[in-house]
Structure 1
Amino acid sequence: MKTRGAIIRQAPGKYEVVDLELDDPRQGELRVKMVASGMCHSDDHIATGDMPVGTYPFAGGHEGGGIIDTVGPNTPGFSPGDKVVFSFLPGCGKCRWCATGHSNMCDLGALLLAGSRFTDPESFRLHMEDGTPVGQMCGISTFCEYTTVAVDSAVKVPEDTPLDKACLLGCSVGTGWGSAVNAGKVRPGDTVVVQGIGGIGANAVQGAVHAGAVNVIAVDPVAFKREMAQSLGATHAVQSMGEATELAQSFTNGQGADVAIVTVGVIKGEHVAEAFGAIRKMGTVVVTALGDLTEVGIPIPIGELTLFEKKIQGAMFGMSNPSSDIPRMLDLYRAGHLKLDELVTNEYSLDEIGRGYEDMHTGKNIRGVIRY
């Protein structure tokens, strides 16, 4: 069938909306009519070239939810009309990582940016009208009105789920929340610094608050984002890591924060070094942000790493397990323990995707959402 979707033809490049040809679902696949898609910074990293992909043109979007239109043959567990939230990380359920409860590390993730079907690197679900293959972001491409995906990427949710909010559970919420709760292991009474309050950092604040941190220090140069962090539970909000470090030390008899979480829009080694300087002995820096994947080097004092037993911990999707944690976070939302509505700053049509990313760059959004 035909669909419309936002693609980039090269990197650096800008998203443009074009007509596309979409495959019917095969066995183990679903065709989904999109309801909403979050506009994550990672898709902007694709456009800038910070994250090179395997196929151009490339259809973006990896955070979304929709309603199943067609189920592939011999594909149990799903029916037309079911609502699904996508996980940008597929879970095969069979590899070493899935089998040990680390499905965010599933081996299928090696092909997230290849653009092809995970099971066949030469097979593509999307094509230009002239037959040119179009890569799918994370195998799902939520910047399309309809998309065909593997069941490994879809989590069924109850029929009364508000997908315009729940779509955020597929990336930003789990990534931020899990960065505090799973990767940072924030405990009651902790002092936590969150560096960068966007779609990820806002949820790191929520996760730290939920885990019982008594001091949650949000850091962002944009006043609107600092205000948003405080509305989500941050106890303090400052413009710089220097201010955050002094605050954390003042709360801890000079020791520093227990956990510092790096969720800036475009990460540099210096950001990690600032967070490293903000934590106490045996403290943890959680690195969640992305930037130029080819950059190497973190300017930290090696002696502190050894003698103070400080830790630098990477976090992919906040160490969450999508198939179990997306429903769990939806339950937290329903119970009033997790805010989703407040995260959606502005809504856009698919044709307004360019303006949505301009608003992100100018600090106007915690999360922009495309509504179909």
Structure 2
Amino acid sequence: MKVRAAVLRNPGAVAPYSNSRPLSIETVELDPPGRGEIMIRIRAAGLCHSDLSVIDGSRPRIMPMVMGHEGAGEVVECGPDVVGLRPGDLVVLSFVPSCGHCGPCASGRPALCEPGAGSNTAGTLLTGSRRWHLNDGSSANHHLGVSAFAEMAVVSARSAIKVDSSLRPEIAALFGCAVLTGVGAAVNTAQIRPGESAAVFGLGGVGLAAVLGAKAAGANPLIAVDVLQSKLDAALELGATSAINARDHDVVAAIRDMTGGGVHHAIETVGSEAVLAQAYSVTCRGGTTVTAGLPHPHRMFSVPAVSLVAEERTVKGSYMGSAVPSRDIPRYIDLYRAGLLPVDRLLTHRLRLDDINEAFDRLSKGAAIRQIVEFD
């Protein structure tokens, strides 16, 4: 099948991307689904900083690659041995396919699925297969088993979570990464309890979703930190009790002063080891620092080792919000419909596939929260 898709061949292009155009919109060949796989008509796909990290080269991936990892779409065909899905179903796509059998999956931590991580690194589906072919006949790689920047995609059925078909696709897509990661960082990884204090560093889609999750969990005070006033204003509108512009203030001193010694939970979503160090510095004795950002693999983070013992401090990584997608995505959708997670307010721009390079310029400048590519 011939479909249009956004293909990345050479990471590290120089912004503005409207000029360098790292993503080329090409007509590529998509194979039918194999065993345990489904074909999806992509209805909506979100632009995430993790995509930008691949485009700018700070998150190395195998090339060439059909990009996009946050999406929702309609099942159009099921391969052999697919259970629980059928054509016409609306699904949200998870960017870690879970095998269901490895050690992490068996212990309830599918975000750490070992075969899923291996296939994502290799640019394949969970079976080890590639279903994309470029015009010269060569294979292209899958981005995190999803490749949502395309009219159609073949994914592992283990990457798809069925949701109510009445949910608008552009909202459904947000639950695949921004909401799953941000809300999950607050409620699954940090495990914020009512009345505990929290600070969120970085207010992109994931960071603002963490603000929503922290608010829903009952965090108070809830402090938002960023360098852009527009993002700080958005955080206040979404429930943060105060906001600090890191360009204008000593963030560590300000938060420790506001809270009488530090917050119970600090969540870092920037992907910067320097910001992570700030987040650690603002937690109180016995506090927890959660990092959901993805810095370059060579970056290192250090803390005063004695504080881990003498102050019983904790540092926790949060990948995909420590989520169980089949459990958490439906729960978060229910909270959205109940008015407790207004994730629709994260959506700031809608665009067509042909405008995707310009949209990544907006993302790189911090001029957007969540942008959605919409397909007919």
1:75 aligns with 2:82: yes
Question: Does 2:302 correspond to 1:304?
Answer: no
Q: How far apart, in 2, do the equivalents of 1:317 and 1:78 lie?
A: 23
Aligned residue runs from structure 1 range 126-275, under 5 A:
126-240=132-246, 243-252=250-259, 254-264=260-270, 267-275=271-279
Question: Normalising to structure 1: TM-score of the pair?
Answer: 0.95
* Equivalent-residue separation in structure 1 for 2:28 and 2:340 (angstroms): 40
- What 5-or-longer segments of structure 2 have no aligned partner? 14-21
Match of 2:31 among 23, 30, 44: 23
8 Å CA contact retained: 1:217, 1:244: no
Structure 2: distance between partners of 1:76 and 1:307:
51
Partner Cα separation in structure 2 for residue 88 and residue 322 of structure 1: 10
Question: TM-score, normalised on structure 2?
Answer: 0.94
C-alpha deviation, 1:291, in angstroms: 2.0
Displacement, 1:93?
A: 1.5
Give the AA of the match of 1:58: M
- Tell me how far apart the structure 2 counterparts of residues 243 and 192 of structure 1 sit (CA, whole Å): 17
Residue in 2 aligned with 1:9? 9
List gaps (5 residues or longer) in structure 1.
Answer: none
Q: Aligned partners of 2:83 and 2:191: how far apart in 1?
A: 37
Give the superposition deviation at 1:251: 4.1
Equivalent-residue separation in structure 2 for 1:159 and 1:269 (angstroms) = 40
Give 3-state SS (helix, strand or coil) of 1:44's partner: helix
1:156 positional shift: 0.8
Contact 1:284 1:311 in 2 (8 A): yes
Q: Distance in 1 between matches of 2:250 and 2:189?
A: 24
Residue 244 of structure 1 and its aligned partner are, at CA, apart by: 4.1
**Residues 230-278 of structure 1: CA distance to partner in whole angstroms, max 9, x if unpaired?**
11100111111854434433343x32111111011xx232112111111
Does the 8 A contact of 1:33 with 1:68 survive in 2? yes
Q: Give 3-state SS (helix, strand or coil) of 1:113's partner.
A: helix
Change (3 A) 1:190 1:244: farther
- 1:348 equivalenced with 2:370 (yes/no): no
Q: CA deviation at 1:327?
A: 0.9
Aligned length: 365
Distance 1:243 1:215 in 2: 18
Give the letter aligned to residue 36 of structure 1.
A
Q: Deviations over 1:202-254 (max 9, x none)?
A: 011011111111111101111111111111100111111854434433343x3
In structure 1, give the amino acid aligned to 2:322: M
Query: What's the counterpart of residue 323 of structure 1?
Result: 326
> CA contact under 8 A between 2:52 and 2:364: conserved in structure 1?
no
Taking the aligned partners of 1:151 and 1:177, their CA distance within structure 2 comes to 24
One-letter amino acid of the counterpart of residue 293, structure 1: P
The answer to whether the aligner puts 1:357 opposite 2:360 as a matched pair is: yes
* 2:92 and 2:176 in contact (8 A); partners too: yes
Q: Is the 8 A contact 1:245 1:257 kept in 2?
A: no
Contact 2:45 2:149 in 1 (8 A): yes
Q: CA deviation at 1:370?
A: 0.6
Structure 1 residue 94 displacement after superposition: 1.5
Which residue type is aligned with residue 291 of structure 1?
Answer: P
Describe the SS at the equivalent of 2:373.
Answer: strand
Map 1:24-173 → 2, pairs under 5 A: 24-54=32-62, 56-107=63-114, 108-120=116-128, 123-173=129-179
Rounded to whole Å, the distance in 2 between the matches of 1:219 and 1:177 is 17
- Is the CA contact (8 Å cut-off) linking 1:346 and 1:365 kept in structure 2? yes
The residue type equivalent to 2:9 in the other structure is R
Q: 1:274 to 1:80 in 2, by over 3 A?
A: same
Give distance in 2, aligned partners of 1:70 and 1:166: 20
Secondary structure of 2:267's match?
Answer: strand
Cα deviation, residue 76, structure 1:
2.9
Deviation at 1:118, TM superposition (A): 2.3
